[in-house]
Structure 1
Amino acid sequence: MLSRKVLMLAGSIAVVGANALTLSPIAGAVAASFPGVDAPGVMKAAAVYGLATAVGSLLWAPAIDRIGQRRGLLRALAALVAALAVSAGAPSLPVLCLGQALAGLAAGCALPAIYALSARIAEKGRESETLGIVLTGWTVSLVAGVGLSALVADLAHWRLVFAGLAVAAAWLARGVGRNRDWDLPVLPARPSSPLSALRVRGMVPALVVVAVYMTAFYGLYAYLGPHLTGVLRLPTASAGLAPAAYGLGFGLAAFMDRLLDRHGAVAAAPLAFLGLVLVYAGLAAASGQAAVLIAMCLAWGLANHVGLNLIVGRLTALNPARRGAVMGLYGTVTYLAASAGAFFYRPLSSDILSR
């Protein structure tokens, strides 16, 4: 199952995810290179990245259905290389924001292409297992990517973080470029509205599920660190155990994905989402105990992996001929939900932190 193609797709997610997640732990080091800029100011680049990813998913992803999924991923990775190079050499914060905006646009096309390709190359009856392995790229980006980025920024320079990611993206682009058998344009070369996939049967209710699911995740994740360091007064290094535990659980859940293929998504979904509800309840109950809360993050990663597999698997099956457009809307809703989660959870977090 660990074919070279599957590993390349997982690696592509890892590079995209590492760039998306790495700015937070190295923000202080980046700020030191720009006079008059502090760490919160640097995080403006992360906000720009998220907005650009939502826009890129909406505008660029539908083109995947016309030019082919491999070509879409190849072009997105090439654009990501350029964006990371700009970020690595940025002489000022505005230029860094520009680099991250380009990276977001590239990610908005890359992620839908990756998910569409994972559905295309999967063996019959092993779709969930294949997608689960591809999704472990997020674990690599969270556990290894973020940790190594902080280490490199501390021991050498933060610019080497983006330079290293650019090299990795270029290597992956080279590999994707060689796999010409992935090409399968399925729609005629005609323009279509970025919102045309809304007409796909089942799309709207699926996107409602995505919006609720992602708002809950990103809203809690955004303020988990401040809660650990502020309310529970953990040192930053110890607070980092929470995302590490989450990432570990997310990766370990890949071994459960074959059960989804065996029993079917219809049978598995009620149990999976009930389990996720119980995990969120457990996280709330453990909010005053750091060790238990960090341990619950492991279960959170397990449950979220299964839930994400079910959601993405459902979306890629809605209309195979329009997977690019479908997954583009998924990406747009995901990153808008990330912003919504941070916005709507902030009053709750502020109230708890002020006590």
Structure 2
Amino acid sequence: MTNLNQSLSPASPTKARIPPFAYVLTGCIGVIGSNSLALGPIAPEVAASLDTGVPSVMTASAAFGLGTAVSAVFLGSLIDRHGPRRMLAVALLLLATGLAVSAAAPALVFLVAAQLAVGLAAGIALPSIYTLASVIAPAGRESETIGLVLTGWTLSMVAGVPVAAAIADFAGWRAVYVIVAAATLVAFGAVRLASVPQGLAGKATSPLAALGVRGVAPLLVACAAFMAAFYGVYAYIGEHLHTALGLPVSANGLIAVSYGFGFGAAAFLDRLIDRLGAERLLPLIFLVVAGVYGAMTAASASYSAMLVVVFFWGLANHFGLNVLIMRLTGLDPAKRGAIMGLNSGVTYLSLFAGTIGFGMVYARVSFSALPVIAAGLMVAAAIAAAMARR
């Protein structure tokens, strides 16, 4: 009788359902990702409208990344003080306001300032989302819950980018920001009205105190290598396809879709992580990502081969990001907000460093050298993750 009751218990890890609020968090990731990825496709129209050049317009994207990094590192501790759900709601409201100002920007300086504000809001929102995902995850289904939330990046990449380009063609670039702002307000309402745990609220944690938690420093080193490798390679795939393979610029769209489908498909396998254990899997996953970069070097002369490799790139990167977040959020629940703030800060600083550093290499040698460097970074990430175990 005892065994029967246990098997039917709603608290059983095998029977517990992922809360519907996880889908709200997925949507929150989707709107943030849509803003961060949308400017590239619509930049020529924005430049024409504001009487400037595309490189100047892309400074707004840089401002978004800088704002996100600074906010995540220095304001992430507020999540521990006030609770992740409350801070997420505040951040989404500020995000919607910044997007509305972006839509109304009469000159480039206003667009850059607005995107800086959006970045500051995103720097609070992203750690809050990851913290909430770990709070609401049923026991034994942590990886599945976080993996579901991470598919928001897939939505923004596979759907958000093409839709943004279509909207800009049909209704102008300002309509893109209006629609994303409206979607953000919907997400804000869902977060405010949802009946879910607020999450831990107590004492704010300084970035240095969070960095002092055992295991955080090596995992952040792994995060830096992981993200620099991704952004450094991804930034120049389109240029490689266009200049080296003679393909139209639109060919990069299928690369994004292939990566997004691979990233999303991995969500169906996330339960394996919960069974095998995140701690011992992370170094192995990073080595698998290194192998994918090696395959990319071999496939760089063929578009069809690149599409296949990029699918598996998205698949492996999903597992890497999922397990990395699981490891970081599990180190000290009382300091999750500050720790995830450091993670987001490192991510966006790595975006900047990876794009610049790999760009310097790409200007001197062929694209095939970039995945080799990325593979080396992933080996370093695996070593750092293994050190975190000890």
Match of 1:253 in 2: 266
Match of 2:60 in 1: 45
Residue 185 of structure 1 and its aligned partner are, at CA, apart by: 3.7
* Structure 1: stretches of 5+ with no match in the other structure: none
Residues 12 and 150 (structure 1), Cα distance of their counterparts in 2 relative to 1, 3 Å cut: same
Q: Give yes or no for contact 1:73–1:113 (8 Å, CA) kept in 2.
A: yes
| Aligned counterparts of 2:238 and 2:116: Cα–Cα separation in 1 | 25
| Aligned counterparts of 1:266 and 1:311: Cα–Cα separation in 2 | 9
Q: How does 1:117-156 map to 2 (within 5 A)?
A: 117-156=132-171
Match of 1:31 in 2: 47
Residue 148 of structure 1 and its aligned partner are, at CA, apart by: 0.2
Q: Give yes or no for contact 1:125–1:261 (8 Å, CA) kept in 2.
A: yes
Q: How does 1:294-313 map to 2 (within 5 A)?
A: 294-313=307-326
| Aligned counterparts of 1:184 and 1:137: Cα–Cα separation in 2 | 21
Classify the secondary structure of the residue corresponding to 1:318: coil
Q: Does 2:3 align with 1:16? A: no
Q: Does 2:74 align with 1:59? A: yes
Residue 179 of structure 1 and its aligned partner are, at CA, apart by: 2.5
Residue 181 of structure 1 and its aligned partner are, at CA, apart by: 3.8
Identity of aligned residues (%): 47
Q: Give yes or no for contact 2:127–2:337 (8 Å, CA) kept in 1.
A: yes
Match of 1:6 in 2: 22
Q: Which deviations, in whole Å up to 9, do the C-alpha atoms of 1:179-223 show, x marking residues without a partner?
A: 3542234323xx653332111111111111111111111111111
| Aligned counterparts of 1:59 and 1:150: Cα–Cα separation in 2 | 34
Classify the secondary structure of the residue corresponding to 1:54: helix
| Aligned counterparts of 1:284 and 1:306: Cα–Cα separation in 2 | 21
Q: How does 1:234-245 map to 2 (within 5 A)?
A: 234-245=247-258
Residue 40 of structure 1 and its aligned partner are, at CA, apart by: 1.6
Match of 1:69 in 2: 84
Partner amino acid, structure 2, of 1:299:
F
| Aligned counterparts of 1:266 and 1:245: Cα–Cα separation in 2 | 29
Q: Give yes or no for contact 1:58–1:195 (8 Å, CA) kept in 2.
A: no
Q: Give yes or no for contact 1:230–1:353 (8 Å, CA) kept in 2.
A: no
| Aligned counterparts of 2:82 and 2:279: Cα–Cα separation in 1 | 33
| Aligned counterparts of 1:184 and 1:217: Cα–Cα separation in 2 | 31
Q: How does 1:1-355 map to 2 (within 5 A)?
A: 1=17, 3-35=19-51, 37-179=52-194, 181-188=196-203, 192-352=205-365
- Determine which structure has more spread, i.e. the larger CA radius of gyration: 2
Residue 263 of structure 1 and its aligned partner are, at CA, apart by: 1.2
Q: Which deviations, in whole Å up to 9, do the C-alpha atoms of 1:21-51 show, x marking residues without a partner?
A: 110011001111112x111211010011111
Q: RMSD value over aligned CA atoms?
A: 1.5
| Aligned counterparts of 2:127 and 2:57: Cα–Cα separation in 1 | 28
Classify the secondary structure of the residue corresponding to 1:124: coil
TM-score normalized by the length of structure 1: 0.96
Q: Give yes or no for contact 2:236–2:367 (8 Å, CA) kept in 1.
A: no
Moved more, 71-80 or 271-280: 271-280
| Aligned counterparts of 1:322 and 1:270: Cα–Cα separation in 2 | 24
Q: Give yes or no for contact 2:255–2:307 (8 Å, CA) kept in 1.
A: yes
TM-score normalized by the length of structure 2: 0.88
Partner amino acid, structure 2, of 1:44:
T
| Aligned counterparts of 1:292 and 1:181: Cα–Cα separation in 2 | 45
Residue 269 of structure 1 and its aligned partner are, at CA, apart by: 2.6
| Aligned counterparts of 1:185 and 1:307: Cα–Cα separation in 2 | 26
Q: Give yes or no for contact 2:238–2:251 (8 Å, CA) kept in 1.
A: no
Q: Which deviations, in whole Å up to 9, do the C-alpha atoms of 1:63-93 show, x marking residues without a partner?
A: 0001011001000000001000000111111
Aligned length in residues: 352
Residue 127 of structure 1 and its aligned partner are, at CA, apart by: 0.1
* Structure 2: stretches of 5+ with no match in the other structure: 1-16, 369-390
Q: Which deviations, in whole Å up to 9, do the C-alpha atoms of 1:231-251 show, x marking residues without a partner?
A: 212101122111110011000
| Aligned counterparts of 2:334 and 2:290: Cα–Cα separation in 1 | 33
